[in-house]
Structure formats: C-alpha cells, structure tokens
C-alpha cells in the first residue's frame, strides 16, 4: 500500500507540475510531497524530476514511470471500487457534461439515475469544451479525437452530418439538386462556441463562393424545430434526427456532399478518484452504443 501511495503522489506531481499544487490536491503539505518523492527516487535509484524553484518536469525515467503508473493506479482503483461496490450502494454526487449530439445519451443518463437513486447526478448539456479538472467534472461525452494526455477515454461510436429539409420547405422553395444550388436557398447555421465561427457544411463550392446565412442558432433542439417547421435547410448530426427522418418531418438531401464520420468518446481525468459511484457510471457508459 505504501508503494501505491507513493506512485499516486508521483502521478499528481507529474500532472500538476509542482509540489504545492499536488499537495493541495492530496490534502498534505508541499514538504510532505517532496519527502515522498525523494524517498521514491531513493528507492528506485534514479531522479524522476528536474526541479526549479517554481515547477518540476519529468526526466526520461520519470516519463517512463508515469506511463506505467497510470495503468497501475487505474487497475488498483478498479479493484478497490469493485470491493467497495459489493459492500454498499453507490451514493454521492457526480457531475457530467454531454455534447448535444444524441437524445440517447440523455435517455441513458435518465435510466442510470433511476438505477442509482442515491447518486446525485448533475448533467450539463453543452458542446463547450470544459476543463474537467478546473470545473470539477467527473466525466464528459465529447466529439472528436482526444489529444489531451491527461484524459482517459472510451470510444462510444460515430455519427455523420446530413443536409436535411422539411417537406414544407421543399414545397415552398423547391429541392436543391446540387451543392452549388444551396447558394440559392435559406440555410440554418450553427456558431462554434470556442472559435466563434460558423460551422462549415460538408460541401465543395467554387473558390470565392460562400453559403448564405439565413439563421444562426446554437441550440440543437431549436435547430431541429426550425428545420421541421420549414424555416430553412439545416445540416444536423444523424444521431439527433432519427425520429424526424423516420416519420417524414425531415428529408435528407443527397447532393454528393462529403461523408465524414465523427467519433464520440467518454473522457475523464487521469487524476479522477475511482469511487464506487464513478465506477458505476463509467461501467454503465462503457456499455452504451450510439
């Protein structure tokens, strides 16, 4: 257990980058963290960090140890969580952020909440890129490849974006038969929260030709509603419009546009404590398929 505790301290220092922050996260003093790291380095016979007055950086041996340590801690946390879950019903608070790409995710979390009534579940339905550690989130459902080495991830599935219209819109404005023809129609757009730019559609147009902007909306449910009411053509994730497509409220337009698959991942911080409630949520999410 002493070795596992020392490795946990080492991982915290490596991820935070200084003894003070690691001590704060662990609830101990910076000097206690420094002594624990020094003992670990003495035991291993190699320096793990290059130290300055304000921060520490990993040595080559330290980086090798970090890669292995994360897997060791994860396995240990899984084991202790399984033991804890067998003894008690998971309880406490969980904070989750979900990208607005599929009603199935919201439905699944509702089922999870019913299965674990002692867990207080807070869900933020947004595509804003949230810092999970700084804003104290346990888990996120995100779109796109995960490049942050401080996050663990689990692939849930893929989706594509479809250009769609309501029968009412097509009756009033006609059906575009090519990507170029989109320039003569009313289009509903989405503004990306991080860049502030309008999200491009998966179409190829001649140089200098841009799609018109009739309406901009950042809410997924509202975009679907606007599209089904016939206000404009829209480009939406196929996951969120399965019902409108199935019942005919929306019609896909086949214009030869590029088909791109967008991966969806569940992600959580490496430093996340593996409690019984988090283990229950993670196992439940991993069993989902979009």
User: The tokens of 278 are what?
Assistant: 């988090």
Average pLDDT over residues 68-94: 76
More confident residue, 135 or 25: 135
In this prediction, residue 83 carries a pLDDT of 65
Average pLDDT over residues 266-287: 86
The mean predicted confidence, pLDDT, of the chain is 87
SS3 readout for 182-219: HHHCCEEECECCCCCCECCCCCCCCCCCCCCCCEECCC
Residue 187 has pLDDT above 60, yes or no: yes
Instruction: Please report the domains of the chain, with CATH numbers, ordered by start residue.
Output: 2-86 (1.10.10.10), 89-156+263-286 (3.40.190.10), 161-259 (3.40.190.10)
Residue 158 has pLDDT above 70, yes or no: yes
Per mean pLDDT, which range of 56-65, 113-122, 142-151 is the poorest? 142-151
Supply the angle between the helices 60-87 and 2-16 in degrees, to the nearest 10: 120
Average pLDDT over residues 192-208: 84
| Cut 0.85: pTM above it | no
Average pLDDT over residues 263-289: 86
Average pLDDT over residues 210-236: 93
pLDDT tens column, 10-60: 988 888 889 888 888 788 888 888 898 999 888 899 999 998 877 889 999
In this prediction, residue 1 carries a pLDDT of 47
User: How sure is the predictor about 2, in pLDDT bands with cuts at 50, 70 and 90?
Assistant: low
In this prediction, residue 94 carries a pLDDT of 94
More confident residue, 121 or 8: 121
Cα dihedral sign, 199-203-209-215: negative
What percent of the chain clears pLDDT 90, i.e. is strictly above it? Answer: 34
Parallel/antiparallel/unpaired status of strands 262-269 and 49-51: unpaired
Residue 215 has pLDDT above 90, yes or no: yes
**Closest to 7 measured CA to CA, from 79, 93, 60, 76:** 76
Residue 118 has pLDDT above 60, yes or no: yes
More confident residue, 195 or 138: 138
In this prediction, residue 95 carries a pLDDT of 94
Average pLDDT over residues 158-171: 94
Q: Are 73 and 4 in contact (CB under 8 A)?
A: yes
In this prediction, residue 3 carries a pLDDT of 74
pLDDT tens column, 202-214: 888 888 888 999 9
User: The tokens of 220 are what?
Assistant: 């997924």
């Amino acid at each position: 257990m002493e070795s596992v505790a020392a490795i946990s301290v080492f991982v915290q220092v490596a991820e935070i980058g200084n003894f003070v922050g690691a001590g704060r996260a662990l609830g101990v003093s910076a000097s206690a963290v420094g002594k624990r790291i020094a003992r670990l380095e003495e035991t291993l016979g190699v320096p793990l960090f290059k130290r300055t007055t304000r921060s520490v950086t990993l040595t080559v041996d330290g980086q090798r140890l970090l890669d292995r340590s994360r897997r060791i801690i994860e396995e240990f946390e899984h084991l202790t969580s399984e033991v804890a879950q067998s003894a008690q019903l998971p309880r406490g608070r969980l904070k989750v952020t979900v990208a607005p790409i599929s009603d199935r995710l919201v439905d699944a979390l509702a089922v999870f909440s019913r299965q674990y009534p002692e867990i207080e579940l807070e869900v933020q339905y947004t595509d804003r890129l949230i810092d999970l550690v700084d804003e104290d989130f346990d888990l996120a459902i995100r779109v796109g490849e995960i490049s942050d080495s401080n996050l663990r991830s689990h692939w849930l599935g893929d989706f594509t974006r479809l250009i769609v219209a309501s029968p009412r819109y097509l009756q009033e404005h006609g059906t575009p038969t090519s990507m170029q023809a989109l320039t003569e129609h009313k289009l509903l757009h989405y503004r990306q929260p991080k860049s502030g730019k309008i999200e491009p559609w998966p179409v190829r147009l001649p140089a200098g030709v841009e799609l018109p902007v009739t309406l901009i909306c950042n809410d997924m449910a509202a975009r679907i509603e606007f599209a089904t009411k016939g206000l404009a053509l829209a480009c939406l994730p196929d996951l969120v419009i399965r019902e409108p497509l199935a019942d005919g409220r929306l019609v896909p337009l086949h214009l030869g546009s590029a088909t791109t698959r967008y991966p969806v991942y569940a992600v959580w911080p490496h430093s996340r404590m593996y409690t019984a409630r988090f283990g229950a949520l993670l196992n439940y999410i991993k069993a989902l398929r979009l």
